[in-house]
Amino acid sequence: MKYTALVLVLVILVAANACKKTNSTAPVPVPPVVIDTETLQGDAPFKIGAAIDVYRLQIDLMYKNTLLAQQNSITIENAVKWQSVHPSENIFDFSGGDYIADFCKNNNKRLHGHCLIWYQANPDWLNNYNGDSLAWEHLFKTHIQSVVAHYRGKATSWDVVNEAFRDDDGSLRVQDKYPGDNFDDGCIWARHLGSDYIARAFEYAHEADPNALLFYNEYGQEWSDAKTNAIINMVTDFKARGIPISGLGLQMHIDINTSNEGITKAIQKLAATGLQIYISELDISVNPANDQSVSFTTDLQKKQADKYAFIVHQYKALVPSAQQYGITTWNVGDKDSWIRTYIMHKDWPLLFDDNYAKKTCYFSFRDALKN
Ligand code: 9MR
């Protein structure tokens, strides 16, 4: 009995081993590689970009593959904002920005740095910094020049100053308008350095990398004439004084109801400066009121697709080709949009869905790029 059991075990072992050998030599089926021959970057007469997050790039293959195929310009969404890149007075942390810069270099994508000076995303140590105006100027200059110099030869362009003007009257953000609401909508830079800080930011950035293209970036120009006019006045003044500004970023966080007339007017006015014009943070919300009962109906899909196409057509028609710096969406797909992840709205604002499949607006956007 014992002997029979032993023979049985041996037979099983030999069979299992034979099986293993057969399996290991059997050809492993290779999934077919699908090459996307119809892409945004392939069809655009200018650069097409997305603002991206380091962590997602590291962990989400669909996200990464979409970028690899579709876009040829990358904006660093958060990794080089002051609070990420300069977390304490004597520490710079370039790890996130470097990861994205390497991705761009290895995959031949243009890199746009965002943003050197902003009233938001500043670390507490900076907001609470105690120093006279000379000490503040030193911090300001050191930060700008350290970051720009670090990415010299890697970043083609920078948002030097972001969102310095108010929506209602186009005045400079200085004091916090609503103290007590836990959000400072004024600007530490204007408070400590005076109103000419914007010009000095451009000069410092230019010294650190004379080849970088330097942008002023702003939202709301399609609905706030006051803001657009303030920007145009700033450009006129900068030109008269020889301040090195290369371009204007028209963010365009809009929705399906944003007036077409407002969009046209903003593009026209900015283009008339002769500077590079960059649609820098495009997304089109379909549910701006964050109504929880809304679903992404075919009607909303169509309205969104029409709006995306309208913007591309206007950009191509109104911005001379030598001034077309490109169009960048703020994030890649609906799933990773700041509208979902940051303000937590129920929305579908981008060109790719939750599985990075192409949406109706992707096709209208791409057709508009082509035709
Ligand atoms: O998308 C960004 C979000 O992840 C950040 O938490 C937030 C604050 O730093 O900034 C968001 O990006 C903003 C950009 O830097 C400037 N224009 C408006 C963008 C959306 O809020």
DSSP for 95-111? HHHHHHHHHHHHTT-EE
Residue of the nearest CA to atom 4 in ligand 1? Answer: 338
- Superfamily of segment(s) 45-370: Glycosidases (3.20.20.80)
How remote is the CA of residue 195 from the centroid of ligand 1, in Å?
24
Domains of the chain: which residue ranges?
Answer: 45-370
78-103 pLDDT, tens digit each: 999 999 999 999 999 999 999 999 99
159 pocket-lining for ligand 1 (C-beta < 6 Å): no
77 within 8 A of 118, measured Cβ to Cβ:
no
Residue 7 or 342, more confident: 342
pLDDT of residue 7: 43
342 pocket-lining for ligand 1 (C-beta < 6 Å): yes
Is residue 31 very low, low, confident or very high in pLDDT (cuts 50, 70, 90)? low
How remote is the CA of residue 251 from the centroid of ligand 1, in Å?
11
Cβ atoms < 10 Å from Cβ of 30: 6
Report the distance separating Cα 17 and Cα 23, nearest Å: 10
User: Is 281 assigned a catalytic role?
Assistant: yes
pLDDT of residue 11: 44
Q: What is the mean pLDDT of residues 350-362?
A: 98
Task: State the DSSP code for 333.
Answer: B
Burial class (CB in 10 A: 0-12, 13-18, 19+), 180: exposed
Task: Evaluate if residue 143 carries a pLDDT over 60.
Answer: yes
Report the distance separating Cα 72 and Cα 135, nearest Å: 40
219 within 8 A of 118, measured Cβ to Cβ:
no
Which two tokens mark 215? 């942008």
Residue 287 phi, psi dihedral angles, 5° rounding: -140, 60
Is residue 29 very low, low, confident or very high in pLDDT (cuts 50, 70, 90)? confident
Task: State the DSSP code for 290.
Answer: -
How remote is the CA of residue 326 from the centroid of ligand 1, in Å?
19
281 pocket-lining for ligand 1 (C-beta < 6 Å): yes
Nearest to 270 by CA among 218, 307, 309, 313: 218
Q: What share of the chain is helix, strand, coil (3-state, %, to 5)?
A: 45, 15, 40
Count of positions (residues) in the chain: 371
Which two tokens mark 208? 């650190």
**In the predicted model, what is the mean pLDDT of the chain?**
93
User: Is 163 assigned a catalytic role?
Assistant: yes
For every residue of 183-213, DSSP letters joined together read: ---S-HHHHHH-TTHHHHHHHHHHHH-TTSE
pLDDT of residue 25: 59
251 pocket-lining for ligand 1 (C-beta < 6 Å): yes
Report the distance separating Cα 123 and Cα 92, nearest Å: 12
Plot region of 95 (φ>0 → left; ψ -120 to 50 → alpha; else → beta): alpha
How remote is the CA of residue 184 from the centroid of ligand 1, in Å?
15
Residue of the nearest CA to atom 16 in ligand 1? Answer: 162
Residue of the nearest CA to atom 21 in ligand 1? Answer: 338
266-307 pLDDT, tens digit each: 999 999 999 999 999 999 999 999 999 999 999 999 999 999
Q: Read off the amino acid at residue 350.
A: L
pTM to 2 decimal places: 0.91
38-69 pLDDT, tens digit each: 899 999 999 999 999 999 999 999 999 999 99
Q: Considering 89, 137, 163, 203, which one is annotated as catalytic?
A: 163
Report the distance separating Cα 315 and Cα 304, nearest Å: 17
Task: Evaluate if residue 14 carries a pLDDT over 90.
Answer: no
Task: Evaluate if residue 10 carries a pLDDT over 90.
Answer: no
38-50 burial by CB neighbour count: b if 16+ within 10 A, else e? ebbbeebebbbbb
Report the distance separating Cα 161 and Cα 163, nearest Å: 7
How remote is the CA of residue 338 from the centroid of ligand 1, in Å?
7
173 pocket-lining for ligand 1 (C-beta < 6 Å): no
Cβ atoms < 10 Å from Cβ of 298: 8
